Amino acid sequence: MSHNEYVIETQALSKRYGRKLALDHLDLRVPRGRIHAVVGANGAGKSTLFRILLGFLPPTAGSARILGRDSQRLTPEDRGRTGFVNEEHTLPGWMRVNAVTDMHRRQYPRWNEDAFRNVLGHYHVLPEQKVAQLSRGERAGFNLALALAQGPELLVLDEPTLGLDVVAKRAFLESLMYSNAAEACTVIYCSHQMEEIERVADNLIILEQGKLMHMSAPDDFCARVTYWIADIPFKGPDPRTVPGLLELQRLDGLHHYLVLDQDDEFAEFLRASGARSVQSMPVSLDRAVNGFLAKNHAAPTKAHA
Ligand SMILES: Nc1ncnc2c1ncn2[C@@H]1O[C@H](COP(=O)(O)OP(=O)(O)OP(=O)(O)O)[C@@H](O)[C@H]1O
Under the banding of pLDDT at 50, 70 and 90, the label for residue 238 is: very high
Mean of the per-residue pLDDT values of the chain: 90
d(CA 278, CA 290): 24
**pLDDT score of 296:** 64
Cα of 23 vs centre of ligand 1, distance in Å, is: 10
CA of 296 to the centre of ligand 1 (A): 18
Asked if 154 and 188 count as a contact pair (C-beta separation under 8 A), the reply is: yes
Residue 167 — very low, low, confident or very high, per pLDDT cuts 50/70/90? Answer: confident
- Which ligand 1 atom sits closest to the C-alpha of 49? 18
CA 84 to centroid of ligand 1, rounded, Å = 19
Q: Which atom of ligand 1 is nearest to the CA of 23?
A: 14
Residue 130 has pLDDT above 90, yes or no: yes
Beta-carbon contacts of 185 under 8 Å, excluding residues fewer than 6 positions away, are: 83, 152, 153, 154, 155
- Report residue 233's pLDDT band, with 50, 70 and 90 as the boundaries: confident
Mean pLDDT of all residues in 157-161 = 89
Cα(43) to centroid of ligand 1, in Å?
5
What is the arithmetic mean of pLDDT over 178-186? 83
How far, in Å, CA of 124 to CA of 166, rounded? 17
Of 137 and 39, more confident: 39
Q: DSSP characters for 149-197?
A: HT--SEEEEESTTTT--HHHHHHHHHHHHT-HHHHTSEEEEE-S-HHHH
Cα–Cα distance, 244 to 266 (Å, whole number): 9
Ligand 1 atom nearest residue 45's Cα = 18
Cα–Cα distance for residue pair 158/188, rounded to 1 Å: 8
Residue 89 has pLDDT above 80, yes or no: no
Rounded Cα distance, 264 and 304, in Å: 10
**Starting from the edge strand earliest in sequence, which strands make up the sheet with 186-190, in order?**
82-86, 154-158, 186-190, 35-39, 203-208, 211-216
With a cut of 90, say whether residue 229 has pLDDT above it: yes
% the chain with pLDDT above 90: 67
* Closest CA to ligand 1's atom 11: 22
pLDDT for 4 equals 65
Mean pLDDT of 68-78: 93
Q: Which residues, in sequence order, are bridge partners of residue 10?
A: 28, 64
From the CA of 59, how far away is ligand 1's center (Å)? Answer: 14
For the chain, give the longest Cα–Cα distance: 72
Mean pLDDT of 69-86: 91
Q: Is the pLDDT of residue 155 over 50?
A: yes
Compute the distance between CA of residue 199 and CA of residue 133 in angstroms, rounded to an integer.
31
Residue nearest to atom 28 of ligand 1 (CA): 43
Whether the CB-CB separation of 46 and 52 falls below 8 Å is answered with no
Closest CA to 242 of 265, 270, 264, 222: 270
Q: Which residues line ligand 1 (CB under 6 A)?
A: 17, 20, 22, 40, 42-48
pLDDT digits 0-9 by tens, 44-67: 999 999 999 999 999 999 999 999
Q: What is the pLDDT of residues 250-299, one digit of tens each?
A: 988 899 999 999 998 999 999 999 999 999 998 999 999 999 998 864 44
CB neighbourhood size of 304 (10 A): 9
Other beta carbons less than 10 A from residue 57's beta carbon: 19
Q: Which amino acid is at 194?
A: M
Confidence check: pLDDT of 172 > 90? no
Ligand 1: which of 14, 15, 17 to mutate, most ligand atoms within 8 Å of CB? Answer: 17
Residue range 210-217: mean pLDDT, rounded: 96
Average pLDDT over residues 199-226: 95
Contacts of 123 (CB under 8 A, 6+ apart): 137, 138, 141, 142, 171, 175
State the complex-level ipTM: 0.97
- Domains present along the chain, CATH in parentheses: 3-216 (3.40.50.300), 221-295 (3.30.70)
Q: How many angstroms separate the CA atoms of 92 and 132, rounded?
A: 8
Residue 184 has pLDDT above 90, yes or no: no
Rounded to an integer, what distance in angstroms lies between the CA atom of residue 297 and that of residue 74?
37
How many CB atoms are located within 10 Å of the residue 298 CB? Answer: 9
Tell me, what amino acid is at 173? L
What pLDDT score was predicted for residue 3?
Answer: 47
Give, in order, the Cα–Cα distances in Å from 101 to each of 76, 81, 84, 139, 149. Answer: 19, 18, 15, 13, 10
Partners of 13 in beta bridges: 26
Least Cα distance to 161 among 196, 130, 129 occurs for 196
What's the pLDDT at 2?
A: 47
Q: Taking the CA of residue 204 as centre, how many other CA atoms within 13 Å lie in the half-sphere pointing to its CB?
A: 26
